[in-house]
Structure 1
Amino acid sequence: MSQDIDYGNLMHTAMRGLIKTVLTSVADNGLPGAHHFFITFDTREDGVQLADWLRDRYPEEMTIVMQHWFENLEVGDDGFAITLNFGDAPEPLYIPYASIKTFVDPSVEFGLRFESPEEEEEVEAVVEEDSIEVEEEPGQHDAEVVSLDSFRK
């Protein structure tokens, strides 16, 4: 009996563990130095909790910034809770790790990107057509993003 090792799933689990570790440190010690995070998540994912007006405004995905003002950061096994300020109105959020699409710390040019099975199929279809061309703007330095596609066969 032969089984394949699901490296993609193992990487997702490890990357979510890294996010949990980083957020736990921030909850315990605050953000060090210039570190700050951009976290994009799927608002349709089971377990996401946010105000109705935010869900109406961001029906598919939302990016939050953890930098100058946030409070009540509570890190759990499956996700984290945080209160952020939206136009001088504090709003509590709960974000499951499974809903996170990107986690970026631009202060050190670090980033993680999680791709759903649908996105992976779209990427494979484009690769099969062999029509991918990527051009980088001169002088543009984005955060490095780790993609699981480079580890898949």
Structure 2
Amino acid sequence: MRYDRLVEEALRSVVRTALTEAATNGLPGDHHFYITFKTHLAGVDIPAFLRQKYEDEMTIVLQHQYWGLKVMEERFEVLLSFNDVHEKLSIPFAAITGFVDPSVKFGLQFQVATDAEQQPSAPEGVAAFTPAGKPAAAGTPAESEAASEGGAPEDDAPEAGAPEGGANVVTLDKFRKK
């Protein structure tokens, strides 16, 4: 059994469920999402100027200024404002490398397969789960609240078992036979 794929599928369903809840009922209280994704993977549909500016990875923020959030089984779509122009982004869940809700100090970090390695059924395993503390994959928002280059390098991630208030990162790759 490929437990790494089962875990990845389960964790991506957390992202899908959170986005579905936001699409249906809006974001309650101070909740907001930082979603980091690979811009060059198959199925990612973003405007050309964003793909050129963020050649590898991009972080979007869903907080106050987003519209038309639609969640499907394999992807989500949202309208965001870039320089006062609404642009549609369509992002497959398989392209997501990070999902953070800083209001409750919750985050998920994924390792995404490259196009050559990517399989339609399930991308390769989970790199890390960050249940508390500083988000491991959130970038600094730019262009209003819409986008920024994403991701903290893995070297900046706290060690597993970090003290209270820091992020506990559990890397499943440590337990996988190679």
Q: TM-score, normalised by structure 1?
A: 0.77
Distance 2:95 2:15 in 1: 12
- In the TM superposition, what is the alpha-carbon distance from 1:43 to its structure 2 partner? 0.5
Provide the identity percentage: 48
Distance 1:59 1:45 in 2: 10
Correspondence for 1:116: 112
Kept in 1, the 8 Å contact 2:75–2:93? The answer is yes
Correspondence for 2:97: 101
SS of 2:21's equivalent in the other structure is helix
* CA RMSD in angstroms, aligned pairs only: 2.7
- In the TM superposition, what is the alpha-carbon distance from 1:151 to its structure 2 partner? 5.0
Distance 1:142 1:91 in 2: 35
Correspondence for 1:126: none
- In the TM superposition, what is the alpha-carbon distance from 1:143 to its structure 2 partner? 5.7
Q: How many residues align?
A: 135
Correspondence for 2:33: 37
- In the TM superposition, what is the alpha-carbon distance from 1:148 to its structure 2 partner? 3.2
Unpaired runs of at least 5, structure 2: 115-123, 128-154, 160-164
The runs of at least 4 consecutive aligned structure 1 residues that moved more than 2 Å come to 132-136, 141-153
Q: Structure 1 residues 133, 79: closer, same or farther in 2, change over 3 A?
A: closer
In our comparison, the structure showing a higher alpha carbon Rg is 1
Correspondence for 1:129: none
| Structure 1 residues 4-27: Cα deviation after superposition (integer angstroms, max 9, x where no partner) | x21111111001111111111100
- In the TM superposition, what is the alpha-carbon distance from 1:149 to its structure 2 partner? 3.1
Q: TM-score, normalised by structure 2?
A: 0.67
